[in-house]
Amino acid sequence: KAGVTQTPRYLIKTRGQQVTLSCSPISGHRSVSWYQQTPGQGLQFLFEYFSETQRNKGNFPGRFSGRQFSNSRSEMNVSTLELGDSALYLCASRQGRPLNTEAFFGQGTRLTVV
């Protein structure tokens, strides 16, 4: 059974640009969550999608957005990139129903904003 796949693995962008990251969950999983990891703030929750609907959102500005497709693949978008957006972005996959199932993470996308 394939794991959680995130693409691309590495990205370098310039301030002001936008970026789209992709996450394909484990087959049969319908919940996808996104997390940002930085040395200063640690691992922080961005948002969670289940059945194409955003179910929860963390405390991030509106420049961070996401969506989920009918095949459960998810994308997150960051517009007007800032230097502080440089981070490792991790995606987690869960069954989604019932609640409280185990989360499995992808390898992450390392974004560098210059």
Token match 């904003």: residue? 113
Pair of tokens at residue 98: 């019932």
Using CB under 8 A, pick the residue from 28, 43, 52, 80 that binds other proteins. 43
Of residues 70, 78, 85, 86, the one with CA closest to residue 25 = 70
How many other C-beta atoms can be found within 10 angstroms of the C-beta atom of residue 68?
Answer: 23
- Does residue number 102 form part of the binding site for other proteins (CB under 8 A)? yes
- Does residue number 60 form part of the binding site for other proteins (CB under 8 A)? no
Our CB check for other proteins shows the closer of 81 and 92 to be 92
Cα torsion angle, 30, 43, 55, 6, sign: negative
Rounded to a whole number of angstroms, the minimum distance from the CB of residue 16 to other proteins is: 26
Contacts of 20 (CB under 8 A, 6+ apart): 75, 76, 77
Rounded to a whole number of angstroms, the minimum distance from the CB of residue 84 to other proteins is: 18
- Does residue number 90 form part of the binding site for other proteins (CB under 8 A)? yes
Residues forming the site for other proteins (CB under 8 A)? 31, 33, 35, 37, 42-43, 45, 48, 50, 55-56, 58, 88, 90, 92, 94, 96, 99-100, 102-108, 110
